[in-house]
Structures are given as C-alpha cells and as structure tokens.
Structure 1
Amino acid sequence: MGSPPRTEPTMDAEVPVQHRRRPSPGDRRSLAIAAAALLLAACTATTDETTPAPAPTPADVCSQEPSRPGQDQSLQELLDRAAADGPGGVAAALGRHGEEVRLCSAGRADTAGTPLKPDDAFRVGSITKTFVAVVVLQLVEEGALRLDTLVVDVRPGVPFTEGVTVRQLLNHSSGVPEFLAGEDVEAAIRAEPHRRWTSADVLESLDGRERAFAPGTAHAYSNTNYVIAGMVVEALTGRTVAENVRTRITEPLGLHDTALAPDGREPVTGFSPLFDPSGTTEGTSYLALGTAAGAAGGLISTAGDLAVFYRALGAGKPVRPDLLAEMTVSHGEGYGLGVGTVRLPSGMGFGHFGAIPGYTAQAVVRPASGDVLVVLSNEDDGLRGLSTTRVFHAW
C-alpha cells in the first residue's frame, strides 16, 4: 500500500493530474462546482428546417476537434495516448464554462481487454474525504455541532483527540498520527484481505504511537483524521457513515453509482503490483482495504457522478454557501475542509486527489468559470501525462 500520503494542495495547471508517489488506501488532493445534469454535448446543426440531425455518439463527441486554436489532439486522442502504455485505462468527465459535460474513456477495464466505458465504476480513494466533510458541515448547518466543537465532547475516549476540534480533523491540523505510516496495517490487510475492519480496529493500530504536534500548531495530512470524523458523524446521527453519505448526498443528487465500500457497484479491475506480483487485482478481495480506508478513502464512484457532485457543491447545494466558503478557504498548505486549492486554466478552483492500490483519481472544479474535470484510472500511475491544461484544451 506504500507510504502514507501527504498533501500537495496547490496544483499548477501544467503539471500532470497525478501524484508522484506510491498510492495508499486513504490518499490526498483537491476539487468541486455548480449543479447540472450530466448530458453529452449534442450537435446543433440540422439537415433541414424541421428534421434535427442525430445527436453524436459519445465517441463522436469525444473525438471532436479541439476548440482551442493550435491544439492537435481531440479529448479522445489525448485519453487514448494516456492509456496506450498501461494495462488499464482512464475515464473522464469534462465540462467547460458551465456547459454540458463530456464523458469519455480509453483503455481496458479488465485483463480480458474489455473496453473501459465512461460510466464504469472506480475506487476513488481520498475523494471520499470531500463527501465526509460535506456530511459534517450539514450537521453544523443543522446545529448538531460546531466546527470548533471538541471531539471528546462528541466521542469521548478516542485516542489523540484531547484538545482537538472537528475543524482540525477536517483540515489536518489535529496532530493525530497517520495510521498508514507503519507497516502493521499493511501487513494485517495483506494477511487477511477478507477481514472487515472497523474504526476501532484502525485506532488500535496507533497503540504506542505519539501525537505529531499539538492541535492547531501545524498541518500534516493524516487519514486517521477522517476515520475519526466518521466516528463523530456516527455518534451524532446513530447511523453509519455509508448511510449518511447515501441519504444526505447520493440520493438527493441522484448519484446512483456512488457508495462507500463494500456497498455499491463492483468497480473495474485495478492494475497494481502492490497486492499481487502479476499486477492485477482480479480475484483479490478489497474488503479489508476498503473498510480500513472507510471514511478516509473507501468510496466507489464514476466520473459522471463525481462531476455532478462537485458541480452541486460549488453551487452551494449540499451545504450552504457560507459553509462552502468555510470549506474552501485554505487553513494550511492549501487545504481547506475536505478540499484543497487547484489551479485550472481559467484560474484557481478546488478539489481532491485519490489513490488506492490499482486506482488513481482526480476531481477539480472552478465555480466562477463553470469548469469541472474528473479523471479516473484503474492503474497506480494511470493519470500520467494528463495535465489540467492539456485536457481542457482538448475540449
């Protein structure tokens, strides 16, 4: 599973949409935007005054010539080249200037070579954190807690949380140590891949560890923060994090293919040597990995669902605009509350990166310009060569 992730919150538009590190169950990064139904761009030309021309197929839409002068790659060509050198593939959802979102894909969904489809499901790692932060902010809106509520006042007895606020969990300024930092959790998951982990199991792995720093004095990305945030949600609502995500976010927004593992659709095959030297996860149980990642990185989703979610978030729909403003203000190293700052060709936006063995993901959004981009891959390094600038210019 590799070393624990660290944030790289401000992404330049010219750098690839990927992280230069081995992925872990709970990963890192940033993204979001304004609500709209996902539709493929339709052709506006007509064959005569009364008979509209047939709408283009997804392949036609993705293969349209780039709108930016001097660009020689369509979006489909760009994705095809990105997928050409690896065993898996990539799916993308891209919308510019608030326009309808294009859904495109390239590469393979499994070892049999099944073509990857735009609506295939993927494990999306730490993009989960944005969803959990939204649930917490909804509870703030409902008056169930404040961002400055102490964790011990809601969930007493959780290790390393003395003096830690809910806000400090969400912006990684708590000093709570990273549960993935040692080899113990990785070894346990490898040894018992069919085991269902609980939050208590994750916290037990911290025995003997020390706090990284005093709460509020520094920032350090720690997946444990969101494991504990999930425990806070469950204590306040009496329901699991998965149930809260479903009833508060996915059902209201119509996200039919998004759920916390082990619920939801079966994702496409992930290609990674971290579980099996053969480089494929087929036949490998993700139960232990998905449930250990939990509220920090256990989400399964599609590019289309994530585009709807981040556009809705940018429009202030899952949370009030004032709480969205709180969420998207950097509290250290470019990270806010479940999202981080991201530079798009049109300016600064926000979003999140995700990585879990066999999968990488990026979701970015800029509400001011109406730009949204989601790129998902079923490889450890599947977003290689795809920068936000190149993808947007291939529109």
Structure 2
Amino acid sequence: MVCAGPAERPLISGDGKPVEIAKQAAWTKDEHRLAAGDQFRVGSNTKTLTVTLVLQQVAQQKISLDDTVEKWLPGLVKGGEHITVRMQLLNHTSGLGDFLLTPQFLPSLTGQEQRTWKPKELLATTPEQDPPTEPGEKCSYSNANYEALGLILEKATGSSLAEQIEQKITEPLGMKDSFLATDAAWPAGKRHATGYEPDAKRLKALLPGTVDQPEGVGFAGPEHPGDNIDTAAIDPSWSWAAGGIVSTAQDWQRFLTALMSGRLLPEAQMKQMRTTVDAPEEGGAYALGLMKMETPCGTVWGHTGGLPGYASEIYTDATGTRSVAVFTITNFGIKEKKAATTNKALVDAATCHMRGKPQPSDSPTG
C-alpha cells in the first residue's frame, strides 16, 4: 500500500472459504506482524450499528422517526425543535455541521490534547453548516447527528449505548472481538493492528484549507520511517455512537450478514433503512446509516470509516450473502494522490471479486 504503512484486506466471496490477505510495509514488521484477524477501529461503520439499534426501538414503538430532537434532548441541539429523528438519521439532512475539524476539537483528534469528550460537549461545539441549511434541505455528513442519536437511544432505553451494543448485537451474533471503545486502551491478550498517519508537514498539505492547523502541529505518537507517526494510542472514545466500535473483518461481516438478511430488523424497518437520498459528497447515495455505492461491478451496500491511523470500507450485496472488508492502517495517508489511486483500485478489485465478477479492463489498476 503506497504511503500507507501496512494494509489488511480480508475478503469473503460467499461461495467458498473466506479469502484473507494481510500485507504491510517492511518498516512496520518489527513492531507488529499484521494478521487478518487483528482488531481494528472501524470508525464510521459504527453508524450502521447505531441505526440498527434505533430502528429496533422504532419497531417496538419506543422511538418514532417523526419525533423531534428537542423532545428527547431538550436544549441540547440548536434548532432541535425543527429536526426530526428521521432527518437526524436519513442521509445526514439535519442541517448540523461537524465538530470534527474545528479548532476546539482538532487537538483531541490529533492526540495533542488528552481530553475525554462527552457527547453533550461535542454537540455544544458543533457549528452551523456554512452556508446554513434548513433540516431536510441538503445531505451533509456530520458526526454530530450520531452523537445525538446515541443520547436518544440511552434516554429511550434507560441503558448505556455499550450495554445495548453488547445485549442486542455483539453477544447474540457471537462477535467476541467487538466492543465500544471507552478509552485508548486495547484489550490485553488480543491482537490489534497498529495505525499510522503522516507527520505534521505531510498532514498540513492534506487538510482542507479551512482547517486552522497551527504550524508544526500534527498527530501525537512515536515517529517512524517515511515521516509517519504511530497513532494507535490516540483516544477514539469521542467518536462513540458515530464511530467508536473496535471489531475485526470477520466479526463485522457477521453483523452485516445478519442485518441485510433480515435477522436484526423487521421488514418495515429494513425498507426504511434502505431508503436513500443523493449524497454526492459521499460518492453515492446515503440511507439510514448505510451507503449505497455503485462500483465497476455493480451496487454494494455498507459504509466507510476513518479514525487516526485506521480507514475501512466494508460492503455487502443486498442480501448479505457476500461481503468484503478492506482495512488500511492509515486514514489521512490514503488521501495523498498516489495512495488514493492505489486504494481505489484495491477497493474496486475487492468489490468485484466479492460480487464474483471480473474487474472491467478500463478500471484503474493503481
């Protein structure tokens, strides 16, 4: 993987034994020998699980998609009286901005500041979209939507998000290597992938021009060859309902298979979950915690995820029969031009193989 450090690429075709490939850059091997079963921070793939929990509550009539955010979280979200749970879920059309790259939050994202953020604090720092949009007007991806959803879930059920994940998803499905991260620690006795990011100089060239990155400030962690930083010790707990799950390729594909085959939700809620709106910023259409992506070999469903040192694209067919996970041990690093081209070629090849089709000859090969 060009400029990316190690990369993990587990693959399941649906009609035979799982195909698992794990490769890494030579300079990372002394620190950790990557394996296909290593635990991995799956980032925003967590959103698919969060929405599953919400729709389970909708099916039980404990939450309505037409409820306002203000009903559940009075005073916490600006304009919450005009934002419904449906808009909070459906393709990020709430009108809320994102706290992720704000000056207040950037030091925590990079690990320069050791702070445990609470969801209410993150909602308080969430800016308006620029330019402002009304609820339902535009799909604009925001982690703040899912911080609010996690709080609604806890209020509706009376139990913590971590408890709900364990009781309703990971334990029933036998996902023994999956949990919601509450700090930077990795479980003792379990293998986990080590993530890397570009140093401050490389990072500045990758961040949007609107981001105020102080000169010389980058990710905190041990330095490695090629101007890379080990980010495995950066606390991801802030991502919570928006991206806090640690899992493995096998575990997550077990979840997607159960979801898409109808084991976790009634038919009515699955129909709601697959209702999409255009999301050009995300490269396809966005449903309720699911992305509908058009690949060179056809339509796939799933999500992407990114945290410091960890990027993932996990997809399945419409029935959950075939699935594929591409894990890359860098997030910002694959935004560099050559790495981005290579990564796209890898994902295209993996999704084509998952669907049992040859990659088109005019598709980039990286």
TM range (shorter): 0.7 to 0.9
Q: 1:93 to 1:272 in 2, by over 3 A?
A: same
Runs of 4+ deviating beyond 6 Å: 207-211
Would you say 1:102 and 2:102 are equivalent positions? Answer: no
User: 8 Å contact 1:353–1:363 — kept in the other structure?
Assistant: yes
The residue identity in structure 2 corresponding to 1:168 is M
1:298 deviation in Å?
Answer: 1.4
The code of the aligned residue for 1:230 comes to G
Q: CA deviation at 1:244?
A: 1.2
Partner residue of 2:294? 343
SS in 1 for 2:293: strand
1:282-324 CA deviation, whole Å, 9 max, x = no partner?
A: 6x6322xx12211111111111111111111110111112211
Residue type of the alignment partner of 1:318: L
| 2:266 pairs with 1:286 | no
Q: How many aligned residue pairs are there?
A: 309
Match of 1:142 among 55, 60, 72: 60
Paired with 1:293 and 1:222, the residues of 2 have a C-alpha distance of: 12
CA offset digits 1:347-369 (Å, max 9, x no partner): 32211011111111011111358
SS at match of 1:332: strand
AA aligned to 2:195 is: G
Using structure 2 for the length normalisation, give the TM-score: 0.76
**2:318 matched to 1:364?**
no
> Which residue in 2 is equivalent to 1:51?
none
Q: 1:103 is paired with a residue of what secondary structure?
A: strand
1:249 and 2:169 are equivalent in the alignment: yes
For residues 159-308 of structure 1, the aligned pairs below 5 Å read: 159-160=77-78, 161-171=80-90, 172-190=92-110, 193-206=113-126, 212-262=132-182, 265=187, 267-273=192-198, 274-276=218-220, 278=224, 279-281=228-230, 285-287=233-235, 290-308=236-254
Q: How does 1:55-70 map to 2 (within 5 A)?
A: none
1:204 Cα deviation from its structure 2 partner: 2.5
Q: Is the 1:346–1:369 Cα contact (8 Å) retained in structure 2?
A: no
What CA deviation, in whole Å up to 9, does each residue of 1:1-56 have, x standing for no partner?
A: xxxxxxxxxxxxxxxxxxxxxxxxxxxxxxxxxxxxxxxxxxxxxxxxxxxxxxxx
Question: Which one has more relative contact order, counting CA pairs under 8 Å at least 6 apart?
Answer: 1
**Aligned partner letter, 1:281:** D
Using a 3 Å threshold, how does the CA distance of structure 1 residues 319 and 232 change in structure 2: closer, same or farther? same
Change (3 A) 1:346 1:392: closer
8 Å Cα contact 1:176/1:211 also seen in 2: no
Residues in 1 aligned to 2:193 and 2:259: alpha-carbon distance in whole angstroms: 26
Query: Structure 2: which 5+ runs fail to align?
Result: 199-217, 280-284, 357-366
> Percent sequence identity over matched residues?
28
Q: Give yes or no for contact 1:179–1:206 (8 Å, CA) kept in 2.
A: yes
CA distance in 1, matches of 2:312, 2:301: 14
Letter in 1 for 2:294: R
Q: CA deviation at 1:208?
A: 8.3
RMSD: 2.7
Q: Any conservation in 2 of the 1:122–1:377 contact (CA below 8 Å)? A: no
Q: Distance in 2 between matches of 1:190 and 1:387?
A: 26
Task: For structure 1, list consecutive stretches of 5 or more residues without a partner in the other structure.
Answer: 1-82
Q: How far is 1:388 from its partner? A: 2.8
Task: Tell me the secondary structure at the aligned position of residue 180 of structure 1.
Answer: coil
Amino acid at match of 1:169: Q
Structure 2 Cα separation of the partners of residues 158 and 218 of structure 1: 22
Letter in 1 for 2:151: M
Instruction: Label 1:255 to 1:149 Cα distance change in 2 as closer, same or farther (>3 A).
Output: same
Indicate conservation of the 8 Å contact 1:364/1:374, yes or no. yes
**Preserved CA contact (<8 Å) 1:93 1:307:** no
Whole-angstrom distance in 2 between the partners of 1:107 and 1:363: 19
In the TM superposition, residue 93 of structure 1 has moved relative to its aligned partner by 2.9
Q: 1:100 to 1:326 in 2, by over 3 A?
A: farther
Q: Are residues 126 and 189 of structure 1, via their aligned partners in 2, closer, same or farther at CA, if it must alter by over 3 Å? A: closer
Shift of 1:390: 5.1
Moved more, 263-272 or 292-301: 263-272
Structure 2 counterpart SS, 1:387 = helix
Deviation at 1:330, TM superposition (A): 0.6
Distance 1:207 1:349 in 2: 32
Q: In the alignment, residue 177 of structure 2 is paired with which amino acid?
A: D
Aligned to 1:88: 6
Q: Please state how far the C-alpha of 1:95 moved relative to its aligned partner.
A: 2.2
Q: 1:324 aligns with which of 270, 281, 303?
A: 270
Query: What amino acid does structure 2 have at the position aligned with 1:145?
Result: I
Counterpart selection for 1:313 from 259, 278, 284: 259
Distance 2:160 2:234 in 1: 19
Normalised to the residue count of structure 1, the TM-score between the two structures is 0.71
Moved more, 222-231 or 376-385: 376-385
Q: Once the 2 structures are TM-superposed, how far is the Cα of residue 232 of structure 1 from its aligned partner?
A: 0.5
1:162 positional shift: 2.1
One of 299, 310, 325 as aligned partner of 1:374: 325
In structure 1, the partner of 2:346 is 386
Counterpart residue identity of residue 311, structure 1:
T
